[in-house]
């Protein structure tokens, strides 16, 4: 088990390095002069030169590259071009706010979609199953910002159940934040329900046909016990993987939802950094999304290996 985790960790480090390189290349394709863009067209040329020197954009690309890689691995992304404060002070609170929204969304999505998956698998190819499968396909394929806009017009404007702006007033309690966060979270629930439901449905259908399920049934176990003790344990592995991948992607998909509800999370931080050409913040925020993805898939792989000894053995060979 320890060796397995170490191997996975080593491969995550390599992926992070490649990722940092991809982001560096993309950002440095940027034509033009960072100092000029930040200080504006009316700044004096010597100020622009001094600024570029201070932030290091006049150094050779290779040394900028080494700095940017070092920053990724020390988790210190430097200072924001725009405000001058540390990038971490900007992106970590934003990650926390987006995380709050994501957590609420997953707390609602996971039980509902796994239950729907089991429900559909038990009624395979019947009307109820087709409804779950096709509804899942439809809702997941709609972009999140579309769902967010439609839910906002129904829940917040027509029924007046939620707030149009998702940022709760500072100092409000956990319960007090719910009316603000619930509608944007629902938009994410709609978007991620389908993936998880379809995956758990597939897992349960596979389990229902497996020999061990037949053995358990013939042993005289009730249907519920077979499902709980035998099928679900096996069907859960691919579902966990899908959920972990979704956690990573959610921080990308959340951009649209955050824009619709005017929420100051990681998504709006990224949009902001793009419009103001704040490269360190942009680099930091994008890499943070990548790190979240890698941590969540790593945790999922370890969890699956923990649940299923066969995975452990196969990969440690």
Partner 1 sequence: MSDSEKHVPQPAEVVSTPGADVLVPQSTIATTATPPTTPAELELSGVVQVSERQQARRENWRLIRRRPGFIIGVFIVLVWSVCAALGDRITPHSPLDYRAGTHLSPRAKFPFGTDEQGRDVLSRVMAGARDVMKVAPSAALLGVVFGVIVGMVMGYFGGWIDLVLGRIVEAFLALPVTLLALLAATTLGSSTTVVIGVVAALFTPVVARTVRSAVVAERDLDYVTSAKLRGESSAFVMFKEILPNVSGPIIVELTVRIGYAVFTVATLSFLGVGPQPPSPDWGAQVSEGFRSISASIWWTTFFPAAAIASLVIAVNLIADSVQSVVEAS
Cα dihedral 134, 138, 139, 145 in deg (nearest 10) = 180
Q: Which stretch binds partner 1 (CB under 8 A): 47-55, 63-71, 113-121, 143-151?
A: 143-151
Site string for partner 1, 293-312 (x = CB under 8 A): xx--x---------------
Q: Which of 88, 249, 264, 312 binds partner 1 (CB under 8 A)?
A: 249
Distances (CA, A) of 153 to 149, 162, 165, 192, 311: 6, 10, 12, 20, 47
Among 108, 146, 178, 302, binds partner 1 (CB under 8 A): 146
> What is the rounded end-to-end Cα distance, in angstroms, of the chain?
12
Closest to 68 in 3D by CA, of 86, 56, 83, 85: 56
Task: Map the footprint of partner 1 across residues 43-72, applying CB under 8 A.
Answer: none
Residue 164 Cβ, how far from partner 1 at the closest point, in Å?
4
CA angle at 19 for the pair 13 and 24, rounded to the nearest 5°: 130
**Residue choice 274, 306, 309, 313 for contact with partner 1 (CB under 8 A):** 274
**H helix and E strand count, the chain:** 14, 0
Phi, psi of 86 (to 5 degrees): -65, 140
Nearer to partner 1, 226 or 287 (CB): 287
Beta bridge partners of 79: 86
Give me the residues that bind partner 1 (CB under 8 A), please: 7, 11, 14-16, 18-19, 22-23, 26-27, 29-31, 134, 137-138, 140-146, 149-150, 152-153, 156-158, 164, 194-195, 198-199, 238, 241-242, 245-246, 248-249, 251-253, 255-256, 259-260, 270-271, 274, 282, 286, 289-290, 293-294, 297, 314-315
């Amino acid at each position: 088990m320890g060796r397995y985790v170490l191997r996975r960790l080593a491969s995550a480090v390599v992926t992070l390095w490649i990722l940092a390189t991809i982001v560096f290349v993309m950002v440095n394709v940027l034509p033009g002069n960072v100092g000029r863009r930040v200080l504006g067209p009316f700044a004096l040329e010597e100020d622009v030169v001094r600024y570029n020197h201070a932030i290091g954009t006049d150094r050779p690309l290779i040394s900028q590259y080494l700095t940017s890689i070092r920053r990724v691995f020390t988790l210190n992304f430097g200072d924001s071009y725009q405000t001058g404060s540390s990038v971490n002070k900007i992106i970590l609170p934003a990650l926390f706010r987006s995380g709050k929204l994501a957590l609420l969304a997953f707390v609602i999505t996971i039980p509902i979609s796994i239950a729907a998956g089991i429900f559909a698998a038990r009624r395979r190819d019947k009307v109820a199953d087709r409804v779950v499968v096709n509804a899942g396909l439809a809702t997941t394929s709609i972009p999140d910002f579309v769902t967010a806009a439609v839910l906002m017009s129904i829940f917040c404007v027509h029924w007046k159940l939620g707030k149009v702006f998702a940022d709760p007033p500072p100092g409000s309690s956990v319960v007090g934040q719910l009316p603000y966060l619930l509608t944007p979270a629902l938009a994410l629930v709609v978007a991620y329900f389908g993936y998880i439901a379809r995956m758990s449905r597939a897992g349960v259908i596979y389990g229902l046909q497996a020999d061990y399920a037949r053995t358990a049934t013939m042993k005289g176990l009730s249907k519920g016990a077979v499902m709980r003790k035998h099928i679900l344990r096996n069907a859960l592995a691919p579902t966990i993987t899908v959920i972990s991948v979704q956690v990573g992607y959610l921080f990308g998909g959340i951009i649209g939802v955050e824009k619709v509800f005017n929420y100051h999370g990681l998504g709006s931080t990224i949009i902001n950094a793009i419009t103001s050409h704040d490269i360190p913040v942009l680099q930091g925020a994008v890499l943070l999304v990548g790190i979240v993805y890698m941590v969540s898939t790593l945790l999922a792989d370890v969890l699956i290996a923990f649940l299923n000894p066969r995975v452990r053995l196969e990969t440690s060979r």
